[in-house]
C-alpha cells in the first residue's frame, strides 16, 4: 500500500489558526478492568496512572462503570460457519435478559452489508426471538451441509468483511462504556502466520491475514469497543478444576526447607475470584491456534473470548465491575494517528497475582490493569482508507456529514481537486483537515494523505490539491475529514483525459 503526501496550494489566510476566545476543556474516556485483588476498593483518580506514547497523562476523574452499557451483537455469516451461528445465537438468546440488564442491546447482521435486525432495546423478548430465529436458520443450513466443512474465506474476503465491521462501529461513538459481541470463527492460520500475530506487520509489506487482524484490533481498541468474539462450540466445557487461593499458592512456593526455620510473615489473601478458567475446555480455547486471531481482538480491547455458554454469565458480571477514567485532551491539534496506551493502578495490598504467578510486593506497587492498548487522536488514516475503498467500490457515491463541495479540474499545471467546506457549527469546527484521495489501479488502490491547518472552520475553508493519477485513470475518490471533530465527507469524481 503506497502512501504519499499530496501537493497543496492553499490561501495563506486559510492556514493561519485563529483563537476563538473561548476555552473548552475536553476529556477522553478510558474503560479499564482493575485487578481482581482491587475489586471493591475505594479507588480514586490519583490511584491510576495513564501513559500515552510512554508519557504520563493526568487522570482528572475516575468512577465505576455502573451505568448502562451500549452492547452490539454483530453477526457476519461470511466469517462464521452455520454451526457457530447456531450455537452462539442460541446461547446468547438464552441470556437475552442478562444482556439487556447490562444496557441497550442492538443486533446487527452483515449479510452482506450490516443491517440492524433489532434496534437498541432493553426488552429481552425481541432480542431473544431474533437471536433464536437466527440460530434456527443457521441450524437448517448446517444440517443441509451434512457435516461437510466449507472452505474458509479468502484473505481479501476477511479484510473486506472486517472493514465493513469497522466502518459500521466507528460511525457510532456511543457515550459511556460499549462492547461488541462478534459471532465469528477464527481464520485458519499457518504456524508462521500465528507467530506473526505477535509482531508488528512490516511497513510496505503484503497485507496478510495476521496484519488485517492486527489493524482491526488496534482500531477497535482506539474507538473504545470492548471486543468479545463468540466462536461458541459444541464441545463440553469439562469438569471444573478445584481452584487454589493465592494463600495456598504462596504456602506451596515458600514452603520451608532444611535451610530455613520459619515462614516469612504473610497477609491473608482475599477470597478467590470465581473464574471460568477453571474449566479445561476454556483453557483449551485460550490456547488453540484456531482462536489466536480472535484472542488478539480481545486482548487489544480488554475483552475476552467466549467459546462456551458457561462463560457468558461471568463475562457480563465482570463488565459491570469496570472503571471509567477521564484524561484531558492535549492542547496539540489532532494528528489522525494511533498512540500506545498503558494504564496501571496502585495495588493497596501486599500480595497480588499477576499472569499465573505469585507476586509479592510492598504497598504502593503498581499493577497493570486490563485496558485498551491504543488511543486515537482524531480519525486514523486507516479509517480514511476504508472510506475511500468503500466509495470506489460503488457502495455510495457520496458519504459523511461535512458540507463538502468537490470537483476535479484540468489546469495548465495538471489535474487539481477544488475543495470547499462550508462554515461549520462551533461544536464541529475543530481542525485540522486531512485530505485523502485514492485512485484505483490493477494492483489495488493507491492512497494519498495530507493534513492542513484549516484555521477557523466556522468560517468555512477552500483549497486545491494537485493530483497526478496514473495514465488512463477515469475516476478517483476523495475524503475530507475534520480531525478534531471527527466529521468527514467523501466524493467520487471523474478524472477523464
Taking only the tens place, the pLDDT of each residue in 258-273 is 444 444 444 444 444 4
Ranges 53-62, 181-190, 346-355: which has the least confidence: 346-355
Query: Is the confidence at residue 380, as pLDDT, over 60?
Result: yes
Please tell me the predicted confidence (pLDDT) of residue 351.
35
Please tell me the predicted confidence (pLDDT) of residue 390.
92
Ranges 54-58, 134-138, 243-247, 472-476: which has the least confidence: 243-247
Instruction: Report which of 318, 333, 411 is spatially closest to residue 370, judged by C-alpha positions.
Output: 318
Ranges 139-153, 304-318, 372-386: which has the least confidence: 139-153
Do 345 and 367 touch, CB atoms closer than 8 A? yes
Do 138 and 89 touch, CB atoms closer than 8 A? yes
- The fold for domain 3-20+381-494 equals Immunoglobulin-like (2.60.40)
Q: Over pLDDT 70: what percentage of the chain?
A: 75
**How many whole angstroms from its chain centre is CA 119?**
21
Please tell me the predicted confidence (pLDDT) of residue 282.
61
Pick the CATH number of 69-237+279-319 from 3.30.70, 1.25.10, 3.40.50, 1.20.120: 3.40.50
Instruction: Report which of 203, 226, 225, 200 is spatially closest to residue 213, judged by C-alpha positions.
Output: 200
Please tell me the predicted confidence (pLDDT) of residue 358.
30
Residue 378: all three cell numbers together? 482524531
Q: Would you give the DSSP letter of residue 5?
A: P
Give Cβ neighbours of residue 136 (< 8 Å, ≥ 6 apart): none
Residue 223: all three cell numbers together? 474507538
- Whole-number Å distance between alpha carbons of 460 and 311: 52
pLDDT tens-digit series, residues 66-123: 778 999 999 999 999 999 999 999 999 999 999 999 999 999 999 889 999 999 999 9
Cis ω for the linkage preceding 432 (within 30 of 0): yes
Query: Is the confidence at residue 6, as pLDDT, over 80?
Result: no
Identical fold, 3-20+381-494 and 69-237+279-319: no
Domain locations in the chain as residue ranges: 3-20+381-494, 27-62+323-377, 69-237+279-319
Please tell me the predicted confidence (pLDDT) of residue 24.
47
Instruction: Report which of 86, 78, 83, 85 is spatially closest to residue 114, judged by C-alpha positions.
Output: 78
Amino acid at each position: 500500500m503506497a502512501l504519499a503526501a499530496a501537493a497543496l496550494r492553499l490561501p495563506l489566510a486559510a492556514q493561519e489558526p485563529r483563537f476563538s476566545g473561548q476555552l473548552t476543556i475536553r476529556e477522553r474516556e478510558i474503560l479499564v478492568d482493575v485487578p481482581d485483588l482491587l475489586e471493591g476498593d475505594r479507588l480514586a483518580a490519583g490511584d491510576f496512572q495513564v501513559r500515552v506514547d510512554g508519557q504520563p497523562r493526568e487522570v482528572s476523574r475516575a468512577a465505576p462503570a455502573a451505568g448502562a452499557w451500549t452492547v452490539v451483537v454483530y453477526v457476519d455469516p461470511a466469517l462464521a460457519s452455520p454451526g457457530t451461528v447456531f450455537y452462539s445465537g442460541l446461547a446468547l438468546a438464552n441470556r437475552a435478559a442478562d444482556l439487556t440488564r447490562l444496557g441497550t442491546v442492538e443486533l446487527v447482521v452483515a449479510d452482506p452489508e450490516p443491517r440492524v435486525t433489532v434496534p437498541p432495546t432493553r426488552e429481552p423478548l425481541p432480542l431473544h426471538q431474533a437471536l433464536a430465529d437466527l440460530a434456527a436458520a443457521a441450524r437448517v443450513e448446517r444440517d443441509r451441509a451434512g457435516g461437510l466443512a466449507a472452505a474458509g474465506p479468502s484473505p481479501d474476503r476477511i479484510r473486506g468483511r472486517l472493514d465493513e465491521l469497522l466502518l459500521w462501529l466507528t460511525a457510532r461513538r456511543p457515550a459511556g462504556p460499549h462492547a461488541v459481541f462478534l459471532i465469528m470463527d477464527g481464520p485458519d492460520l499457518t504456524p508462521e502466520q500465528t507467530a506473526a500475530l505477535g509482531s508488528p506487520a512490516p511497513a510496505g509489506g503484503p497485507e496478510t491475514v495476521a496484519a488485517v487482524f492486527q489493524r482491526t484490533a488496534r482500531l477497535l481498541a482506539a474507538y473504545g469497543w470492548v471486543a468479545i468474539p463468540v466462536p461458541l462450540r459444541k464441545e463440553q466445557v469439562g469438569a471444573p478444576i478445584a481452584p487454589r487461593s493465592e494463600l495456598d499458592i504462596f504456602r506451596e512456593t515458600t514452603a520451608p526447607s532444611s535451610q530455613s526455620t520459619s515462614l516469612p510473615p504473610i497477609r491473608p489473601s482475599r477470597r478467590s475470584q470465581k473464574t471460568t478458567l477453571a474449566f479445561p475446555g476454556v483453557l483449551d480455547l485460550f490456547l488453540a491456534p484456531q482462536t489466536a486471531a480472535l484472542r488478539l481482538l480481545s486482548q487489544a480491547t480488554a475483552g475476552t473470548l467466549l467459546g462456551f455458554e458457561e462463560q457468558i454469565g461471568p463475562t457480563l458480571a465482570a463488565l459491570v465491575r469496570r472503571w471509567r477514567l477521564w484524561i484531558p485532551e492535549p492542547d496539540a491539534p489532532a494528528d489522525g494517528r494511533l498512540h500506545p496506551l498503558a494504564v496501571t493502578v496502585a495495588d493497596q495490598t501486599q500480595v497480588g497475582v499477576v499472569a499465573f504467578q505469585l507476586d509479592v510486593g510492598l504497598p504502593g506497587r503498581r499493577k497493570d490493569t486490563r485496558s485498551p492498548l491504543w488511543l486515537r487522536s482524531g480519525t486514523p488514516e486507516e479509517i480514511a482508507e476504508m472510506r475511500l475503498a468503500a466509495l470506489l467500490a460503488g457502495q455510495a457515491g457520496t458519504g459523511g456529514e461535512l458540507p463538502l463541495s468537490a470537483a476535479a479540474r484540468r489546469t495548465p499545471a495538471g489535474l487539481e481537486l477544488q475543495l470547499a467546506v462550508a462554515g461549520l457549527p462551533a461544536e464541529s469546527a475543530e481542525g485540522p483537515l486531512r485530505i485523502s484521495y485514492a485512485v484505483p489501479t490493477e494492483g489495488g488502490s493507491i492512497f494519498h494523505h495530507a493534513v492542513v491547518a484549516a484555521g477557523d472552520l466556522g468560517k468555512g475553508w477552500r483549497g486545491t490539491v494537485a493530483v497526478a493519477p496514473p495514465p488512463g485513470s477515469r475516476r478517483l475518490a476523495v475524503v475530507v475529514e475534520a480531525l478534531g471533530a471527527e466529521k468527514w465527507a467523501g466524493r467520487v469524481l471523474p478524472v477523464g483525459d
